[in-house]
Amino acid sequence: MLPGVSVYTPGQVAEETGFSLDTLRYYERIGLLEPIGRNAAGQRRFTQDDVGWLGTIRCLRDTGMPIAEMLRFAELVRKGDHTIRDRIALLEAHDRRVEAQVDNLREKQAAVQNKINYYRTVVD
């Protein structure tokens, strides 16, 4: 986040989060983002909380969480602290899927490394 700034333009948020402007609008339209405030001219202005939430969404998206699950997570967050156990369960299930993907990638990496080692023995 930019130091000393409390509201952000869509362009600043796009740069900060790596989400395109279209994606930001889409996330707002489907309810993944709360409705974004607007200035007197009707231009969207994001808060630090919005940017922080987008950081969470970026993490979930980058680890392969489907939009439907991100929407469920957002819904649970908005319902309040009494949903924390449900949030933990949702995140634990996602974490197990991520761990399985990491294990799968490690297996494939080992195969690639074996191929590299084989080719090194052929050229030496």
Q: What is the percentage of the chain residues whose pLDDT exceeds 90?
A: 94
Quote the pLDDT of residue 124.
73
The whole-model pTM stands at 0.84
State the Rg of the chain over Cα.
20
- List, for residues 82-93, the tens digit of each pLDDT value: 999 999 999 999
* Residues 7-19, mean pLDDT to the nearest whole number: 95
In this prediction, residues 16-31 reach a mean pLDDT of 96
What per-residue string of b and e applies to 32-56 under the rule 16 or more CB within 10 Å gives b?
bbeebeeeeeeebbbeeebbebbee
Mean pLDDT in residue range 99-116:
97
